[in-house]
Each structure stands twice: as C-alpha cells, then as structure tokens.
Chain A
C-alpha cells in the first residue's frame, strides 16, 4: 500500500542522546516535511524539503537537522535531545508544495 512509513512508532530517550526519526514515502512525491504536534499548539513545521538534495527551515528548526539524499527518504535527527523535544512527530509528503500533504502515523517521542 502506497504511503508514508515512519519509524519508530514510539521511543523513550534519555536527555543528551542522539536520535534519528526515519521517514520513507513511496509515492514519488517531490516535497517532504517534518511537523511536531503539541497539545494546544497544533502542528508546527520543523524542516522541509522541496526536492531531493534541498532542505529548508520551518517555524521551529532549532535542535533538529534533516537530509534529503534521495526522493523517498527524509530522516530527522535530534543531535542532543532535551525534554522540550517531547512531542509527536509527523512526517508528510506532497507532490508539489501547494498540493495536499499526506501524513505518516507519527512517532511519539518522550525525552526524559
């Protein structure tokens, strides 16, 4: 079934540790995104990529990095996790920037 796969589905992480959230899409979409969802704040854009080889910063990029080596994969890395990065992380993709985005099932991350 075509779509977006995120891994892991949930994780408890010690503060200061490095963590990479994985995201893979098989729809050949050009654009990909990482959002975080926090209660009362909705979804906020962390980083995005308009096409393979390019990335851009969103609303809340600090403490996160991304790469887009190919069309399908868009990993999100937390270099040194802090408790404020406890959140649900959603990866999404769209054919172009102004078309509808398709979302993965999310990764629930708890930093302790």
Chain B
C-alpha cells in the first residue's frame, strides 16, 4: 500500500530564504503525487501535481517540486519565502486506482 512521509512537522524560514519541504513516498506502482496547502480554518488547496509527465513540476505561488524516482522523493521548494506562505503543507500519493493518502503535514512559519 502507498504511504507518505513528510520530514519535519514544523519548518521555520526567514522571509526571502529558500523554502524546502521534504516528502518521501512508498508505492508499488508509478505514483501520482500531489502537494496541497492549508491556510488556517480553510480547506486544502492544490499547489501542484505529478502525473508521470515532466519530473519538475511547477505550481501556484512560485512553488515547484521535483520527482526523483531513485530517491522516492517529491520535495517542495520555493526560492524566496513570503510571509503569505505561512501555512500547513501536505504531500499526498495515489497509486492510480486508489484514493489519495496524505502525509501528516508540515507547518511552515516565515519569520520577518
């Protein structure tokens, strides 16, 4: 069965610094991978998705993620953090015929 591990329940960065949120997955077949963002008291919003096309995926708000099969990773990055990026981020995996399985989330804090 598929699973997701997000390394670090809380990440803190300075405004303007690189954002790196880590996600490793386990899947018995080529996976579909997703990153979602959740702002306080809201539902989840899709940031980006990988569906076996280009390995570098660009999403909304300047975020991108790279699929690395050899490392079973799908880390989320953004070159320069903004205060508005402070939120909870979730990585999710699907094996194509199954509902999304989510990681436990990483809370991103941005320090002025």
Mark A residues whose CB is within 8 Å of B: 4, 31, 33, 35, 40-45, 48, 58, 90, 92, 97-98, 100-106
Contacts and interface: CB of A to CB of B under 8 A. Distances in A.
A100 B34 contact: yes
B102 interface: yes
A90 B46 contact: no
22 contacts: A33-B99, A35-B102, A42-B90, A42-B102, A42-B105, A43-B102, A45-B99, A45-B101, A90-B44, A97-B96, A97-B99, A98-B32, A98-B51, A98-B94, A98-B96, A98-B98, A100-B34, A101-B44, A105-B43, A106-B41, A106-B42, A106-B43
Interface residues of B, number: 24
B104 interface: yes
Contacts of A44: 102
Nearest to A98: B96
B85 to A, nearest CB: 19
B65 to A, nearest CB: 14
A44 B103 CA distance: 9
Nearest to B91: A42
Contacts of B42: 105-106
Contacts of B43: 4, 90, 103-106
Interface in B72-112: 90, 94, 96-105
Contacts of A105: 42-43
B12 interface: no
Interface string B32-72: 10101000011111100101000000000000000000000
